[in-house]
Amino acid sequence: MARQGLTRADIINSAIEMIESEGLHSFSLRELASRLHIKAASLYNHIRSSDELHTEIGYYAISELSKAQLTAIAGKQRAEAVKALADAYYRFGKERPEIYKVILSLPMVKNDAIHKAGFDIVEPIMIVLGGYKLTEEQKKHLQRVFRSIMHGFISQEEAGCFKQFPIDVEDSYRMAVRGFILLLENSEKEAKA
Amino acid sequence: MARQGLTRADIINSAIEMIESEGLHSFSLRELASRLHIKAASLYNHIRSSDELHTEIGYYAISELSKAQLTAIAGKQRAEAVKALADAYYRFGKERPEIYKVILSLPMVKNDAIHKAGFDIVEPIMIVLGGYKLTEEQKKHLQRVFRSIMHGFISQEEAGCFKQFPIDVEDSYRMAVRGFILLLENSEKEAKA
DNA sequence: TTGACAAACTAACAGTGTTAGCATTATTGT
DNA sequence: ACAATAATGCTAACACTGTTAGTTTGTCAA
């Protein structure tokens, strides 16, 4: 029964909805198929494998995150912009944890993934760093540092690794961002010297 | 045939070996059982579930990491100690990536896990922070920041997320650590005021 | 209208964790 | 030393997972 006008995009969208509502760990092709009123095997007319679908969802997630960041930093400069960038990142991780997890598990090993998603990941940060007087090399390093801080913080909080002490998590978060801003300013001085 | 003196510890050790050599993703109870010359179902005489085994391995990994850190910081102070701590962390993640992944996937949601592993995770960092003149509250926040930086950096490098630019990864790493040290010194000044 | 392609189907395979029920071995108490 | 008990193994099975092959069916173009 070649019936529904079921497109590849429909399948990806449906998978995203499912992951967001039911959680990434309990996602399966058979349930996805069932939700689309289809048998699991039929999915293979639209996708090559589970991994490919997974990767596609990862691209979606990254572009969503990137968009949120670009919106957040619009019209802002330097420390203001850094904070806005970090906030957008933090909120995304908190509000859409299951989708965020998909980004993490996206294996960037293939050159494919790096080229397709790499730019979106890096772009907003590089724009913000553009407001600081830094060498290109410094910017590339600092972008890695920023992403490490943000990703590390979000995933540890998500995993429950901050529950040893009953102190405010957002306070810790603000301290982390302040640390990065300090590093930025310090790097600027070094660039001059 | 109740034959081998097969203990729970043997099973865990065997699982750890397997994960380190074959990788976490290709680990299965049936292969583990086969390596122990046992059927998969027999494993359930020693462990309650796959999850429980997983958690147990997580505890092992955390204690290993903690030991490495304690050794590394012995006799060192302040910035020296921070660098040694970070280096031990970084090396562990790089040299034993599969075991490190187990830590990440350890869900700390249960109070059980927090109490059993939480102390080991936090202890070495708190010792190092003890060399700085900080309030207890500051230390607790800064410990979170440190772990975020380290974890974020390691897992992004491991996932291949740093391949956009062909610049040295260890240079970025050193910059991240320098950033944390800056934050420490800055926090000290704030504590005085 | 017919031919071709796309999209669905069924059936099956190999793999996963897990449980139930049974057999054997080892340990322990008398 | 012997019987009772607990521990440790087994087989068979269940309910899942992703995935492939081969077949049918609907749709659109020549």
Q: Which of A119, A145, A164 comes nearest B179 by C-beta?
A: A145
> Binning pLDDT at 50, 70 and 90, where does residue A147 land?
very high
CATH number, position A111: 1.10.357.10
Range of the domain at B43: 1-47
- Considering the domain boundaries, does residue A52 fall inside one? no
Q: Are residues A24 and A72 in the same domain?
A: no
Nearest of B183, B108, B61 to residue A162 by alpha carbon: B108
Q: Are residues B87 and B40 in the same domain?
A: no
Residue B42 CA distance to nucleotide C30 C1' (Å): 32
How many other CB atoms are found less than 10 A from the CB of residue B17? 12
Q: Which residues are within 8 A (CB) of B103 and not within 5 positions of it... i.e. 6 or more apart?
A: B58, B61, B62, B65
Residue A192 scores a pLDDT above 90: no
Residue A21 CA distance to nucleotide C1 C1' (Å): 49
- Considering the domain boundaries, does residue B115 fall inside one? yes
The two three-digit tokens of residue B132, written as one number: 């700085």
> What span, in angstroms and rounded, lies between the C-alpha atoms of B8 and B58?
15
pLDDT confidence of residue A153: 97
| Inter-residue contact A105 to B104 (CB < 8 Å) | no
**Cα A134 to Cα A50, A148, A176, B167, distances in angstroms:** 42, 19, 21, 16
Local mean pLDDT, 10-residue blocks, chain B (193 residues): 80 98 96 97 97 96 97 97 98 96 81 78 97 97 98 92 94 98 96 75
Give pTM, 2 decimals.
Answer: 0.93
Q: Into how many domains does chain B fold?
A: 2
Q: Which nucleotides of C are covered by protein (CB under 7 A)?
A: 6-12, 15-21, 23-26
Q: Are residues B91 and B182 in the same domain?
A: yes
Mutation site for A-interface testing, chosen from B164, B168, B190 by largest number of A Cβ within 10 Å: B164
The two three-digit tokens of residue A164, written as one number: 């040893």
| Inter-residue contact A161 to A102 (CB < 8 Å) | no
pLDDT confidence of residue B4: 72
User: Per-residue pLDDT tens for B135-176?
Assistant: 999 999 999 999 999 999 999 998 888 999 999 999 999 999
Q: Are residues B151 and B131 in the same domain?
A: yes
Q: Are residues B85 and B151 in the same domain?
A: yes
Judging by beta carbons within 10 Å of its beta carbon (0-12, 13-18, 19+), is residue B6 exposed, middle or buried?
middle
> What span, in angstroms and rounded, lies between the C-alpha atoms of A174 and A178?
6
* Owner of token pair 């965020």: A100
- Considering the domain boundaries, does residue A57 fall inside one? no
Residue A8 CA distance to nucleotide D30 C1' (Å): 28
| Inter-residue contact B77 to B49 (CB < 8 Å) | no
Contacts 24+ apart (CB under 8 A), B159-163: B159/A104, B159/A106, B159/A107, B159/A108, B160/A107, B160/A108, B160/A109, B160/A113, B160/A114, B161/A108, B161/A121, B161/A147, B162/A144, B163/A108, B163/A114, B163/A118
User: Per-residue pLDDT tens for A40-69?
Assistant: 999 999 999 999 999 999 999 999 999 999
Tell me the backbone φ, ψ of residue B169, rounded to 5 degrees.
-75, -35
How many other CB atoms are found less than 10 A from the CB of residue A104? 20
Q: Are residues A80 and A171 in the same domain?
A: yes
- Considering the domain boundaries, does residue B52 fall inside one? no
More confident residue, A115 or A131: A131
Q: Are residues B92 and B130 in the same domain?
A: yes
Q: Are residues B5 and B32 in the same domain?
A: yes
- Considering the domain boundaries, does residue B53 fall inside one? no
| Inter-residue contact A153 to B180 (CB < 8 Å) | no
CATH number, position B13: 1.10.10.60
| Inter-residue contact B106 to B52 (CB < 8 Å) | no
- Considering the domain boundaries, does residue B165 fall inside one? yes
Residues of B in contact with A153 (CB under 8 A): 144-145, 148, 152
Domain boundary among B9, B25, B47: B47
> What span, in angstroms and rounded, lies between the C-alpha atoms of A120 and A118?
6
- Considering the domain boundaries, does residue A109 fall inside one? yes
Q: Which of A107, A150, A179 comes nearest B179 by C-beta?
A: A179
Contact call for B144 and A104, based on CB within 8 A: no
Q: Which of residues 162-181 of A touch B (CB under 8 A)?
A: 162-165, 167, 169, 171-172, 175-176, 178-180
Nearest CA in chain B to A163: B114
Q: Are residues A142 and A173 in the same domain?
A: yes
**Cα A66 to Cα A16, A51, A74, A85, B30, distances in angstroms:** 17, 22, 12, 10, 42
DSSP string, A83-118: HHHHHHHHHHHHHSHHHHHHHHT--TTSHHHHHHHH
| Inter-residue contact A123 to A66 (CB < 8 Å) | yes
Q: Are residues B14 and B73 in the same domain?
A: no
Q: Are residues B7 and B102 in the same domain?
A: no
pLDDT confidence of residue B2: 60
> What span, in angstroms and rounded, lies between the C-alpha atoms of A93 and A105?
14
More confident residue, A9 or A2: A9
> What span, in angstroms and rounded, lies between the C-alpha atoms of A114 and A93?
21
Q: Are residues B42 and B64 in the same domain?
A: no
- Considering the domain boundaries, does residue B176 fall inside one? yes
